Amino acid sequence: TVPVAPRARAGLRARAPLPDNVLQALVGFAASDYAREECKYCGISPTEYGNIRAIFQSVEVQADTTLKIRLTRAFEQRSVKFLDVLAKHLRQSTPHLKRLLYEASNPPTTRTIIISP
């Protein structure tokens, strides 16, 4: 389990506070080797590696079973594989989540990924 520091919540846009288990899952994902490699590839400052604010522009839980996210601009270009790896991580760490909604800004689209049936 990754401890969730109060700082993890600061600067992350969310309409309502995220449940601790969801925040913990996102922090764990951001700290993963895969996310660190993606940060490096996308030109994120090494001081921001492992920081969920460097990856996610906004995060919202809807109806307790859907996670709606927007990636920061740096990660949008690599979103397809990135979202697949994130969905796999969420499937293991937050089994109550059923769907991942990804809102892209350019072009404006929404992609739905089924996490678990």
1 domain-assigned: no
Query: Which residues span the domain enclosing 77?
Result: 6-114
Q: If we measure between CA atoms, which residue out of 7, 49, 6 comes closest to residue 29? A: 49
What span, in angstroms and rounded, lies between the C-alpha atoms of 107 and 87?
A: 22
38-92 pLDDT, tens digit each = 999 999 999 998 899 999 999 999 998 999 999 999 899 888 899 999 999 999 9
Question: What CATH number did the domain enclosing 85 receive?
Answer: 3.30.70
pTM of the predicted model, to two decimals? 0.83
Query: Contact, 113 vs 49, CB < 8 A?
Result: no
Q: Is the pLDDT of residue 2 over 80?
A: no
- Give the chain's domain count: 1
User: Token digits for 12?
Assistant: 């992350």
Q: Which residues of 83-100 are buried (b: 16+ CB within 10 A; e: fewer)?
A: beebbebbeebbeebbbb
